[in-house]
Amino acid sequence: MRRWIYVSSPLIVMFIFISFGFKNQEVTVPETLKVKEPTKVLFPKNKTYFTGLVVVPPFLGSSYIGFKEALAFKESQGNYFVTNTLGYLGKYQFGVETLELMGVYNPTIFLNDPVLQERVFYTNVSRNKWILRRDIQRFVGKKIGGIVVTESGMLAAAHLAGAGNVQKYLRSYGSYNVADAYGSTVSKYLKKFSGYDISYVSPKRNPKI
């Protein structure tokens, strides 16, 4: 016990000296360690919100998967089981007439079958790619209304308005620019969905499920 007191005493004295030496000293905290008050974030009124945050689609790259998921988010926020106010169905918001073109005649079964919805989407892109094949060769890379035309932009616009209306838009060099009931136009989809690689989808004439 005595030995422990003898050895430790200098350490205790040093500790007391240091404590008194720094007792009245002002400690400077580096700026990087100071806690800052949270910054207020102002959100524009024309954005969509979810639990206080701006809702944005997941980025899955520029492949076919990225393309279809970005388009699905714009159409339904990726919800397979939703029907909009105009009666368009599912994740990609298909109309009944378009479904029938591809051999799907039961909207209820379609709405409750995610696998079928994915097959229909691919089939429809394949169909539109066939219809627009000459326009893809002719217009991709050109600028119309300040927008660089891409294959993916054309196919997204065809999903919105039909391949025929995309052809009219391109061949009129932007003069014929139709919109849906919610205000989305061919030109908006051409711009929003440009630059994806859709080579995974092969063009096919009148494909069926």
pLDDT at 70: 97
Which ranges constitute the DSSP H helices of the chain? 2-22, 64-76, 96-101, 107-111, 114-131, 133-139, 151-161, 163-171, 186-192
pLDDT per residue, tens digit, the chain (209 aa), is: 433 333 444 444 344 444 444 444 444 544 543 444 433 333 333 333 333 344 455 566 899 999 999 999 999 999 999 999 999 999 999 999 999 999 999 999 999 999 999 999 999 999 999 999 999 999 999 999 999 999 999 999 999 999 999 999 999 999 999 999 999 999 999 999 999 999 999 999 999 99
Question: Is the separation of the CB atoms in 208 and 123 below 8 Å?
Answer: yes
pLDDT at 71: 98
Distance CA 86, CA 158 (A): 18
Global pTM reads 0.72
Distance CA 85, CA 129 (A): 28
Burial class (CB in 10 A: 0-12, 13-18, 19+), 82: middle
Structure tokens at 153: 């932009």
Q: CB under 8 Å to 163, separation ≥6 — which residues?
A: 127, 128, 131, 132
Distance CA 158, CA 126 (A): 11
